[in-house]
Structure 1
Amino acid sequence: MGKNILIVDDAAFMRMMIKDILTKNGYNVVGEAENGIKAVEKYNEFKPDLVIMDITMPEMDGIEAVKTIKGNDGNAVIIMCSAMGQQAMVIESIQAGAKDFIVKPFQAERVIEAVSKVIG
């Protein structure tokens, strides 16, 4: 059975792109969320092996969501995604507990490399 992944991004087409890359590579996307609040709810509901989380989102950003999820489950595995030029936020998200980050626009090889590195 493939690993279960939750995708969090406020842009539906970004979620669709990541989902497509992951499913083609044998991963199972168990849920999607469009903001940090929903991400925390879905994480608690599905307990995925991995969360791929956007940094900049409405209602609750990715960094706050990482802190909340890691606070509830210290073993949570999270990869952040960000657009170019958000280095400070990437550093902050790693400090908050994220394991890796991928830069938009996504390159399939980089997504799979990051995912396989953190969850196999």
Structure 2
Amino acid sequence: MIMKRVLIVDDAAFMRVTLKSMLENNGFEVVGEAENGIIGVQKYVELNPDVVTMDITMPEMSGIDALKEMKKINPNVKVVMISAMGQDMLIRESVIAGAKSFIVKPFKEEFMVKTLTQVLGI
């Protein structure tokens, strides 16, 4: 099986480490990490990952704004938004902006893997 390439965009270092370990344990290749939306968009252009996990609330540029920028670059970009509980309005906004799916924290490894697998169609 070809390893699917993932870009992790989250302002919390702990979350990036957690996501990276979950994904790598399940056969994904984490090609890059970014701590805000601006860097996330730059790394998306540079690395061309198969899928992006994106925190909704970040400094500099929110996940929703970064998603919109990525959609301009590639209308078919696959972005899975990650949000804290109680961010229903933001989740709705991100789906309208083109997110393929979303995950609410805290989440289980199996759910994360299942969601990315569905989004990637594997």
Bin of the TM-score, shorter chain as denominator length:
over 0.9
What is the letter of the counterpart of residue 19 of structure 1? K
Q: TM-score w.r.t. structure 2 length? A: 0.97
> Which residue of 1 is the match for residue 37 of structure 2?
36
CA–CA separation in structure 2 for the residues paired with 1:25 and 1:94: 26
Aligned residues: 120
The equivalences for 1:5-84 within 5 A come to: 5-84=6-85
CA–CA separation in structure 1 for the residues paired with 2:103 and 2:20: 14
Following TM superposition, where does structure 1 have runs of at least 4 consecutive aligned residues deviating by more than 3 angstroms? none
CA–CA separation in structure 1 for the residues paired with 2:67 and 2:97: 6
CA–CA separation in structure 2 for the residues paired with 1:38 and 1:103: 23
RMSD: 0.6
> Which residue of 2 is the match for residue 3 of structure 1?
4
> Which residue of 2 is the match for residue 108 of structure 1?
109
What is the letter of the counterpart of residue 110 of structure 2? E
CA–CA separation in structure 1 for the residues paired with 2:108 and 2:11: 19
After TM superposition, give the deviation of residue 64 of structure 1 in Å.
Answer: 0.2
CA–CA separation in structure 2 for the residues paired with 1:91 and 1:48: 24
> What is the CA deviation profile of residues 70-98 of structure 1, one whole-angstrom value per residue up to 9, with x for unaligned ones?
01111110000000000100010011010
**5+ unaligned residues in a row in structure 1: which ranges?**
none
Residue aligned with 1:80, SS = strand
Q: TM-score w.r.t. structure 1 length? A: 0.98
Residue aligned with 1:22, SS = helix
CA–CA separation in structure 2 for the residues paired with 1:43 and 1:9: 13
